[in-house]
Amino acid sequence: MRKYKNSAAIVWAVYIVMIAARKNQAAELQRTVWVREAQRVEAKPVTTVETVNRQKFTNPTEDLQPVREKPVQEQKPKDKLTKSKGVHYGESGRETYYNLPMGGVVKIMRGLGYTEEEYPYWTREDGCKMLGEYIIIAANLDLRPRGTLVETSLGTGIVCDTGSFCKKDTTAIDIAVNW
């Protein structure tokens, strides 16, 4: 059994590394903890993790017991636009919703070659108005022309429409729903 100069610091370092491993950040945190610990114990600069591991800490956990932690909680489902929320800030920009008749919008898309057979108009269970497998969205046509596919919080959308909301925020999108 090895005895370290400051075993409390070693226990602390191992505990931090074990926690970080659960969060997929172990490599960076381990490097930081071991280098800092080696610098503190030996009072000289250490340039690499490998040097630290070979010099002083070849097996720091040989006489330590693992620390039990609380079970990791499941992550919440991806945040998305809802009727009650009204606005969602997603990867593609500010998302809002609108509920207007889509007859004219669908007619424009048919004229652009989006056939009824390949891109039927329908309403999904959650209320999203669809063109084929894509949610109908309105966007700035200068930035995203009709037919552009855009990731939204509710799924992949297809730009079919535009609106005055684009003047205020050029990256905003409006999702067609029946809410």
* Residue 89 token pair: 């800030």
Residue 135 scores a pLDDT above 80: yes
The pTM of this model reads 0.57
Confidence of residue 107 (pLDDT cuts 50, 70, 90): very high
Least confident of 11-20, 105-114, 119-128: 11-20
C-alpha triplet 62, 63, 67: angle, nearest 5°: 100
Q: Where do runs of H (alpha helix) occur along the chain?
A: 7-22, 26-42, 49-55, 103-111, 165-168
- CA–CA dist 92, 9 (Å, integer): 46
CB distance 49 to 35 below 8 Å: yes
